[in-house]
Structure 1
């Protein structure tokens, strides 16, 4: 790549209360061919504070993509998704549900709340890494993401 090509950094917000899963996602994204800036919060209230630049997150960047677990403490992922999609300033940010739940009602409810896709976390370490790489390949290499504002 020559010096005239600027590589855009993609900002990802991972909302995940399982430290092991957060570490695996971080590991999968660190080996990325894309420049990404991963931020991790471990509950739904922190996710909304991050997105709205609330207390403790005043300098938080606007994410280009949100990876959201459903089963979170304090405010679950379903509530977070509903708030994001109801907020005119946030609703265009793509939200990928990344959860252990295989419950049909969770799949239906999150799509009804305008989730952009629903992925069930595999138990196997290598499959989990593969899933995160696949998310990266699709959402950050193929899809045209909406502009930050507008």
Structure 2
């Protein structure tokens, strides 16, 4: 059963280059009842362009991205997830957007680096299909109750 949250708490911005993972994430979030809109980017440059190179002022960017939540892979073509995270958390227009890093990287130094850059949650993707699906369903249950900041232009 899909909970209609389109009037929505948030729009999910999924930055994931692996088409299979993106499909699996979307499918299992829906199974967990997440009906929020999802915008998918398959490379880092497209995500950066969405957030920053769109011709909008800082105030317009804040308005466009209010009530967003980012699911971020780290290993991306063109611009990696670390740089996306650094840019999102370093800019006043996007700083408050929650970022969940969802990646196969489980190196403790990389995890620490992401938290130092400002990620809100770090999740390692399980390699095995059933475990991956289960992890995403659990993420969906968390997202069903999460509150994201309402960013307002100043």
Task: Report the TM-score, using the length of structure 2 for normalisation.
Answer: 0.82
Contact 1:65 1:94 in 2 (8 A): yes
Cα deviation, residue 27, structure 1: 0.9
Q: Which residue of 2 aligns with 1:58?
A: none
Cα deviation, residue 92, structure 1: 0.5
Distance 2:14 2:71 in 1: 5
| Counterpart mapping for 1:1-150 below 5 A | 8-9=7-8, 10-52=10-52, 54=54, 62=65, 64-138=68-142, 140-150=143-153
Q: Which has the higher contact order (CA 8 A, sep 6+)?
A: 2
Contact 1:44 1:73 in 2 (8 A): yes
Residue-pair matches, total:
140
Distance 1:65 1:53 in 2: 19
Secondary structure in 2 aligned to 1:14?
A: strand
| Stretches of structure 1 lacking an aligned partner (at least 5 in a row) | 1-5, 56-60
Contact 2:43 2:77 in 1 (8 A): yes
Cα deviation, residue 129, structure 1: 1.7
Report Cα offsets for 1:3-45 as digits up to 9, x if no partner: xxx8632310110111110110111123342431111101111
Cα deviation, residue 113, structure 1: 0.4
Aligned-CA RMSD value: 2.1
